[in-house]
A and B are shown apart, each in its own frame.
Chain A
Amino acid sequence: MPSVYTHKFDTPVFKGAVEIPTGIFIDGKWRDGSDGELIDVINPATGKVITQVSAGTKKDVDEAVVAAQRAFDTVWGLNCPGYERGKLLYRLAELLEKHQDEFAAVEALDNGKTFSWAKKADVTMSIGTFRYYAGWADKIQGNTIETSKDKIVYTTHEPLGVVGQIIPWNFPLMMLSWKLGPALAAGNTIILKPSEFTPLTALLAAKLTQEAGFPPGVVNIINGYGSTVGNAISHHMHIEKVAFTGSTIVGRKVLEAAAKTNLKETSLELGGKSPNIIFDDCDIEQAIDWTIHGIFWNHGQACCAGSRIFVHAKIYDKFLALFTERTKEIKVGDPFGNDTYQGPQVSQQQYDRIMEFIDSGKQQGAKVVAGGERWGTEGYFIKPTIFTETKNTMRIVQEEIFGPVGVVIKFDDDEDVVRQANDTVYGLAAAMFTKNIDRALKCSQALRAGTTWINCANQLHPQVPFGGYKQSGIGRELGQYALEHYTAVKAVHINLGHTP
């Protein structure tokens, strides 16, 4: 029988015991995976095992789809009016708010981000996202459309049915809220696979959906590997849509699977190598603070991280000196420490990958002005790192590192820097710093990115859409726009008198 893991926290910022179910959650019930396998959950601050959770299988996904379809046909979808769906989402938000400290603590434990960031960013935004979509649930409107006097025509925006959602390990709870919110508001039922690296807050969230009163089968959460559960979801013939957030490499596989099976609607939130352009007429102090937030927030493990930092020649030296100094002051350490800013990277794999990029940078001739090495002796900590004197062809400039590693590049021509900024297969986000209105708006227009930030960076709100141009993805999350990906448009023609 599946168990419950109780973790006792005794830290400067949080004390308490949290009970976490460790099974898979299908049709309102907890159970083991069909083949009894387990996955270790590692604490990235220490490298030690916290507990084990059940690993789902293809068979589990199949069962979940049956339950989700049944729920959709009977108690969810349009059987449950939008207003009621909204009330449940609102209740979910309230429950999350009530338990915010526990969720923040578990997230920090599992992912390695600090308790303080988890609480003020991840959990807060998750609550806001559920509330935001609660408000949309009864406002998904179609159109009546004039054609001729012999007919009336209208559209309805209907839920798709059973949707699959695959979320990553960098913002586990927050990504879960971005996915569940619009999908449930629109009336779909869900099969969600959290990352096998960070399953714990998803399991807690599953418990909360039960408590909020979502009928069994509406939300199903199956932990497991991409190659098993993820694969099963993206290939399933009766899952109408899949939403994936993760690497571009895996994103391709998800899209390919859809093409080879039932042409399921696919939305993808993938990687980025987002430019951050610091013009000479910026507020330099602000620009530095935002730049730090842009690349070092969440230990650089953000798809929209401003990892390519272009600094105008006129202010380059001043900027670099201050940026480097402040970067060196960043406090790395225990996620539950009082003033820690940066915890460990999420896993050994990620750690190795980032260190490999850092080595490649050094080998390819770039200069390290801060960090560039491990922090501490246990866990997966990496010092905040800055490279300068890079060449465009270097791997650290071209490829997404997904760690606390920024490259700083000098420029002196507005048009050329925009060209460089756009010279990437990615197009997720871009930031720029300038006080000049013309420069800001023209630059924003010229950048091929799904989000542009003017005099800020990494700003996300439930009300505002987020998603990539080019190979950073397909579709948008958040805002009203997300609802389009969870509804299908039906056009209804009623003949009032015309003949064929």
Chain B
Amino acid sequence: MSSTFTHQFDTALFKGTITVNTGLFIDGQWVDSVSKETIDVINPVTGKKLTQVAAGDANDIDIAVKAASRAFKTSWGLKTPGHQRGRLLYILADLIEKNVDAIAATEALDAGKRFAHAQREVQGSVDVVRYYAGWADKNHGKTMETSEEKFAYTRHEPIGVVGLIVPWNFPFSIATWKIAPALATGNTIVLKQSEVTPLSALLLAALVKEAGFPDGVFNVIPGYGSTAGQALIEHQAVGKVSFTGSTFVGRKIMETASKTNLKRVTLELGGKNPVIVFDDADLDQAVKWMTFGTFFHSGQVCAASSRIYVHEKVYDAFLERFVVAANSIRQGDGFREDADQGPLVSQTQLDRVLGYVESGKQEGARLLAGGTRSEGTGFFLKPTIFADARPDMKIVREEIFGPVGVVSKFKTEEEVLELANDTQYGLAGYVFTQNLNRAIRVSSTLEAGSVFVNSTAATAPQVPFGGFKQSGQGKELSEYALEAFTQVKAVHINLGMTL
């Protein structure tokens, strides 16, 4: 049937062998796709092919959904009590933890991440899965008083088969952010990972099987958005889709849901996240956090701090230090000890970002660092900083999703808040100040789902994450994510009303 991909690592940071099943994972089995088509997996550091994985399409999605439906009705859903679902999730967390390095290496190889970052992300996934393991038997409904003639209560029930669509920037992490609450609440899953970075979800499937989840509870279909993804979001038997990706695709998902079975939708979309650095900020810390927030994973982060407003009093000092920091970022293969930043994930992404860089130059922003491709192979772009940006520039308005920081000056709090909120997006916001009242005031005023004071995005499993406005709807992480995978049933028991 389907094959495996074996890769030997002999690098400074990791030595070892990984083996990844490259088929579709349906109903506890590894299978080829119905069409027998495959998708090439490219190493973004070299631009060369690593292997290929089975490419699922509508037929495979249909088979997977049927398996997931059966599992929901027979061996999962509320048939497996919460504490037992939680137990399996704990076991899965332990398995992920046991295999951190192998998973991290696979992820780093596939997505062009630094190995050390991938390790941290996989460890973070362990925490998320454990967190939701603890919720599995605690999703309480309520009883409520109406009158003596009625006994009323709510049940928080799983939805059934849910479709999860995960992107290429944090393939493993985001998959776990979605599967953990979905499984904890009793749903079964068909997951379509990005065709650009399919490998770590296939490892995850193997671990889910090893943990002992019943067949059909978790299914993985690598494939293209336009085929497998589309089939999943159209499917009449899928009650819910949770998607992380671009706003553009997010719209299509909502539209498709409206045209099919009105499936519930959670969307984690783009962002053009404002950073406000006040004159009383700890400037050194602000620069460090900005460097991290703007250039981490080459800026391919929905919550990247890409639009930076600096108070005029500290503008020049900030820029000077920011440029030095950007220029000292060493680029290279993620398995080298002397590399801080890897490549963009694909040629397509690289071209896109270069397009934005061009527009920044043309529209008159001042280029202070980077702005070109790096020498050598792979999809590397130098850490880039534009200054003196104006609100009407494309690089200020649109999400670049690359290692490009765009810096503007401001004078007053009122002014900068208006600028910061002048966007269709609302994912995250960042404030650097030492003043308590200002920190709270600005946090309260920023139109964003998460506001970070004196740091960039440092999510925690216990705290919700999700955008305002066109950055999405719904929340991931924390207790709030349970709602995304639960439907509320109200039960009224008549105790005495007669007609």
Interface residues, chain A, CB within 8 Å of chain B? 82-83, 86-87, 90, 128, 131-132, 134-139, 141, 152, 437-438, 441-442, 445, 462-463, 480, 494, 496-497
Contact = CB atoms under 8 A, between A and B. Distances in A.
A90 B90 contact: yes
A152 B444 contact: yes
Task: Classify the interface of chain B: helix, strand, loop or mixed.
Answer: helix
Given A480-B140, A494-B436, A86 B134 contact: yes
Given A136-B134, A139-B135, A462 B90 contact: no
23 contacts: A83-B130, A83-B131, A83-B462, A86-B134, A90-B130, A132-B83, A135-B135, A135-B137, A137-B134, A138-B134, A139-B135, A139-B462, A141-B479, A152-B440, A437-B493, A438-B496, A441-B495, A442-B495, A463-B83, A494-B436, A494-B440, A496-B440, A496-B441
A438 B83 contact: no
B493 A139 contact: no
A345 B23 CA distance: 61
A494 B127 CA distance: 32
A450 to B, nearest CB: 15
Contacts of B229: none
B439 to A, nearest CB: 10
A131 B127 contact: no
Given A152-B444, A494-B436, A496-B441, A131 B86 contact: yes
Contacts of B83: 128, 131-132, 462-463
B133 interface: yes
A436 to B, nearest CB: 12
A135 B90 CA distance: 10
Contact of B138 (A86, A135, A152): A135
A136 B138 contact: yes
Contacts of B495: 438, 441-442
Given A134-B134, A138-B462, A462-B83, 10 more contacts: A131-B86, A136-B138, A139-B134, A438-B495, A441-B495, A463-B83, A463-B138, A494-B440, A496-B441, A497-B437
Interface in B475-495: 479, 493, 495
Nearest to B140: A480
Contacts of A86: 130, 134
Nearest to A93: B90
Nearest to B444: A152
A442 B496 CA distance: 10
B366 interface: no
A446 B461 CA distance: 43
Given A438-B495, A480-B140, A463 B82 contact: yes
Contacts of A87: 130
Contacts of A480: 138, 140
Contacts of A134: 134
A496 B437 contact: yes
B151 interface: yes
Contact of A131 (B87, B151, B444): B87
Contacts of B127: 83
Given A86-B134, A438-B495, A480-B138, A135 B86 contact: yes
A264 B462 CA distance: 31
Contact of A441 (B138, B140, B151): B151
A486 B137 CA distance: 20
A494 B136 CA distance: 35
A460 to B, nearest CB: 13
Contacts, number: 63
A480 B437 CA distance: 35
A462 B138 CA distance: 10
Which 8 A-B pairs have CB atoms at the shortest separation, nearest pair first?
Answer: A135-B134, A463-B137, A441-B151, A138-B462, A496-B437, A441-B495, A152-B440, A496-B440
Nearest to A149: B444
Task: Point out which of A137, A139, A437 has the most chain B C-beta atoms below 10 A from its C-beta.
Answer: A139
Nearest to A497: B437
Contact of B493 (A83, A131, A137, A441): A441
How many chain B residues sit at the interface, stated as a range, is 20 to 34
Task: Point out which of A138, A141, A152, A442 has the most chain B C-beta atoms below 10 A from its C-beta.
Answer: A138
Contacts of B90: 90, 131
Contacts of A83: 127, 130-131, 461-462
Nearest to A441: B151
Contacts of B462: 82-83, 138-139
Contacts of B131: 83, 138
A244 B134 CA distance: 27
B48 to A, nearest CB: 40
Contacts of B133: 135
Contacts of B479: 139, 141
Interface in B149-177: 151
A141 B479 CA distance: 10
Contacts of A138: 131, 134, 461-462
A480 B151 CA distance: 22
A135 B151 CA distance: 30
A445 to B, nearest CB: 8
B444 A132 contact: no
A137 B134 CA distance: 9
Nearest to A135: B134
A427 to B, nearest CB: 19
Contacts of B493: 437, 441
Contacts of A438: 495-496
A308 B87 CA distance: 38
Contacts of B135: 135, 139
A82 B127 CA distance: 12
B437 A132 contact: no
A438 B479 CA distance: 35
A267 B41 CA distance: 61
Contacts of A139: 134-135, 138, 462, 479
A494 B462 CA distance: 23
A497 B436 CA distance: 12
Nearest to B438: A496
A132 B440 contact: no
B49 to A, nearest CB: 40
A441 B151 CA distance: 8
Nearest to A133: B134
A107 B140 CA distance: 34
A97 B135 CA distance: 21
A419 to B, nearest CB: 18
A216 B421 CA distance: 51
Contacts of B87: 131
A146 to B, nearest CB: 11
Interface in B89-124: 90
A497 B136 CA distance: 42
A29 to B, nearest CB: 31
Contacts of A441: 151, 493, 495
A219 B441 CA distance: 43
A87 B133 CA distance: 12
Nearest to A185: B134
A445 B152 CA distance: 13
Nearest to A495: B437
